[in-house]
Structure 1
Amino acid sequence: MQVSNQRESDPASDEEKQYEKQPAEYQDTFGDEEQCGFLMVAETVSLGILSLPAVVAVLGLVPAVILLLGIGLLATYTGYVIGQFRWRFPHIQSMADAGEVLLGKVGREFMGTGQLLLLLFIMASHILTFTVAMNSITNHGTCSIVFGVISMAVSCILSLPRTMTNVSYLSVASFISIFSAVMITMVGVGVKKPWQGEIHATVDTSLYKAFLAVCNIVFSFSGNVAFFGFISELKDPKEYPKALALLQGTDTILYIVVAVVIYVYAGDEVTSPALGSASPVVRKVAYGIALPTIIIGGVVVGHVACKYVYVRLLRNTEHMHSKNFIATGSWIGLTVASWVIAWVIAEAIPVFNNLLSLIASLFASWFTFGFPAMFWLYLNKGRYFSTAMKTTLTILNVIIIGIAACICGLGLYVSGKALHDDPSSASFSCANNA
């Protein structure tokens, strides 16, 4: 679907001219679109993939594959719109900057705060997954809260350096880790074949269970929040669509293959995270290999969250780039505080699926779908019905905003119901969550 990023008739507003005069800010560039695309894959494919086989069990093979394809295509389109918005306003580095373009300072604070909360919840999901992994590896060797504290402490220590010059290498290592873990699980369940029952193309399920599964799919495509940063680090931002196509083609195919294969062999007994579907020995090996993703992925996200607050606090001060007591103390304080908050969230919502669905409902619904659709409407204001194509795209983007609102509203309801009804969702519990 081709969408023009050029104004057709009306001149840009004075505000837009002001933004367009601002030069693009480049960080350490990745290079070409291929390098950027692979790094986007490495940073996007993470914990979300572990929930997808259970999604197939809830929805059935056919609906699950259709939803994975449909949501993947929708995320690709909104990802492209993010690129259009960045081309029009080259100074944008984050969702907070985009919010400022839309609604001024209020928009910046609103979207910046939302992005920060999303990062904190993702950090919490890594802590929670660490407790599940350690309970599996050690056969619940100690209280789950202890494993959570260990994860918090290790992640906090690894986040202390203020600069992360090798983030790209860490992200690639994280991807290799999770990819290897799911491949081992696929082979393990394929050899063991723990499920001897029928494989269902469709299943009878409730709206509550089905939408909880949909939210887990949405979480898997929640990488759009970081796309402005990726575009800003391309040598030629116009090459971004190629990197986006590489990302979405790779992750959609990988999601479908992993979800379907593990479900076919594990059947209705598939677990979430999916690594628990293998035999006890293979499960321990898979979780052990996944530990770099569980730890490193959280550390990278945590560093981004801390850096955002740090820059907001010390911008335009002499402490910003110094190593004095105030700068160092501020960084350490922010790091500790952010990981403590993430630990509290993880202990308050100790069920993997429920936490992912809550993240998708509150944040991914808007950062992946709703806000990009608003970007398109902003770019094309005054020309919504100027041509047949514009009319079609206007209707599409309004529908996307409606979809985001539905995911947010209904997703919050089913997430809340899951937290209320699930007996294993007791907060700050020592129970085995593996």
Structure 2
Amino acid sequence: MDHPKDLDAKQKDVDHDHEVVSDGESVRIAELVQEEQEHQIKYRTCSWQKTAALLFSEYICLAILSFPWSFSVLGMALGVVITILMAAIVLYTSLILWRFCLKHPEVRDVCDIGRILFGGSDLAYNLTAIFFFFNNTFIQALHVLVGAKLLNTLSNGARCTIIFSVVSAVICFFFTLPRTLEQMSFIGIFSAVTMGLAVLLAIIFSGIQGNPFGFSEALGAPLVTAGPPPGTTFVTGMSAFLNITYTLVGQITLPSFIAEMKNPKEFPKALWAVTIAEVVVFTICGAVMYHYIGFQYMTAPAFGSLTTTYKKVAFSFAIPTIVFLGSLYSSVTSRFIFFRIFENSHHRHSNTFVAWATWTAIVGFTWILAFVIAEVIPFFSDMLSLMSSIFDSWFGFIFWGMAYLTLYPGETKWHGAGRSLETVFNWSLIVLGLYMLVAGTYVSIQSIIDSYHANAVGSAFSCASNAL
């Protein structure tokens, strides 16, 4: 058995090793930035402020307007508690992710992390890449459909939904063409501001409109409960919980953001800023709109619970976010493919015809595929929930519990009471991720079955209006 003094010496050695690694990280990051100085296109150029703009554009999104629905299912008190709790967990896991990226500055995206976590396995890398690609493409498809929904709502369904979907995909395609995230960050600021205005208007309109859209004397005045209202089932309750969770989970893009920062050590500044903002905005939006609309008249997104004029005015401010956020996910996916094609080629960082033609073709491919997925799946909303259960359980929880265990190998993870408690917490994150994988998959499949039984499923490539 080791003598206590020997254990102290080992702990000092561990701490010293971490200090050496930290110095090595700084040197390696500086080398990676310096390597790009002679390149025509430089990727590691984002300040923490520009990274914050990208984060704000990702999190301050249309999904905020689904929080009132989640609150109406879970109840006011439970909805607030879950929102704050999940935001705190996502903040913690994002900081673990950041520390992991600092330790491995060569990481370009979450696929590289998948390879490292599973011992350099090519199989793990390829499976992570598949998850990564389809997760992002389904989010793009969502924005194709939401863009069509917006145009249908504003025009009273004056055109075939397929045409509006094509228009949405084409517009998003052009906004995806910039090859660096720094170039996109400026649009991200505008996107976050206008989405914030959309949320603010929706909250105000819900309070001044009198009765919510669809009001009837039979259903009565809006009702609000602290807990789940009577009749709430496991499927609907779990769906509301997953809706909050999947909106807050966004770590899949963070390695790509960190990889394009001039100084990745400043990433926590951007992360804390967006986390504080999202907790405030998400909670206020969910609570206030639920208070005025009640569970009888609630829709998702909550724009649908506003009367016609208010609905159109508030929804129109979401246009930049619908376009930009889909473009951001397409850009991250396209960059992954582009870097793999030109792994060791000068085209990767040059303004050559081959580089731009390839980039444009990749971006176009992602949007064509997103359009097809959006139109060919008549139960897209439930399918998106299913995909989120499969992907976000890994990218939101399991990966980062594993990353923590990798950062503290062997006995180092049990040094001291604090470190031991943190280790147990990270094991619980892995268990939580596995639960969400199983429960979320079950709930999503059951929801698809229920939709078919209720004849609530449309047809593929339908012209029918999907307006709010």
Q: TM-score, normalised by structure 1?
A: 0.89
SS in 2 for 1:23: helix
**1:387 corresponds to 2:416:** yes
2:209 is aligned to 192
1:216 is aligned to 243
State the one-letter code of the partner of 2:436: I
Give the Cα separation in 2 of the matches to 1:232 and 1:246.
19
1:298 is aligned to 326
2:309 is aligned to 281
State the one-letter code of the partner of 1:98: I
**1:164-313 pair list within 5 angstroms:** 166-195=183-212, 196-202=221-227, 203-204=229-230, 205-268=232-295, 269-313=297-341
- Of residues 425, 428, 432, the one that matches 1:403 is 432
Change (3 A) 1:7 1:337: farther
SS in 1 for 2:28: coil
Give the Cα separation in 2 of the matches to 1:236 and 1:355.
38
Change (3 A) 1:232 1:162: closer
Q: Report deviation, 1:366.
A: 1.6
1:344 is aligned to 372
User: Which runs of 4 or more aligned residues in structure 1 lie more than 6 Å from their structure 2 counterparts after TM superposition?
Assistant: none
Per-residue Cα deviation, 1:323-366 (whole angstroms, up to 9, x for no partner): 66644443333222211211122224456753553343122222
Identity %: 29
Change (3 A) 1:84 1:324: closer
SS in 2 for 1:141: coil
State the one-letter code of the partner of 1:147: F
Residue pair 1:48, 1:219 contacting (<8 A) in 2 also: no
**1:40-59 pair list within 5 angstroms:** 40-59=55-74
Q: Report deviation, 1:42.
A: 2.9
Structure 1: unaligned runs, 5 residues or longer = 1-5
Change (3 A) 1:381 1:356: same
1:124 is aligned to 141
Change (3 A) 1:189 1:7: farther
SS in 2 for 1:172: helix
Change (3 A) 1:266 1:355: farther
SS in 2 for 1:320: helix
Give the Cα separation in 1 of the matches to 2:211 and 2:11.
58
1:112 is aligned to 129
2:218 is aligned to none
Change (3 A) 1:323 1:121: same
Q: Report deviation, 1:272.
A: 0.9
Change (3 A) 1:244 1:165: closer
- Of residues 408, 426, 430, the one that matches 2:458 is 426
Give the Cα separation in 1 of the matches to 2:180 and 2:417.
49
**1:93 corresponds to 2:108:** yes
Higher deviation after alignment, 285-294 or 43-52: 43-52
Count of aligned pairs between the two proteins: 425
Give the Cα separation in 2 of the matches to 1:83 and 1:319.
29
Change (3 A) 1:348 1:141: same
RMSD: 2.7
1:155 is aligned to 172
Change (3 A) 1:327 1:256: same
Residue pair 2:61, 2:195 contacting (<8 A) in 1 also: yes
Change (3 A) 1:377 1:109: same
1:3 is aligned to none
Q: Report deviation, 1:237.
A: 3.3
Give the Cα separation in 1 of the matches to 2:463 and 2:51.
42
Higher deviation after alignment, 348-357 or 418-427: 348-357
Structure with higher Rg: it is 2
Residue pair 1:178, 1:290 contacting (<8 A) in 2 also: yes
- Of residues 384, 388, 405, the one that matches 1:360 is 388
Structure 2: unaligned runs, 5 residues or longer = 1-9, 34-42, 213-220
Q: TM-score, normalised by structure 2?
A: 0.83
Give the Cα separation in 1 of the matches to 2:241 and 2:186.
32
SS in 1 for 2:294: helix
Residue pair 1:349, 1:425 contacting (<8 A) in 2 also: no
Give the Cα separation in 1 of the matches to 2:13 and 2:416.
12
Q: Report deviation, 1:116.
A: 2.0
Residue pair 1:42, 1:174 contacting (<8 A) in 2 also: yes
Residue pair 1:29, 1:235 contacting (<8 A) in 2 also: yes
Give the Cα separation in 2 of the matches to 1:39 and 1:333.
24
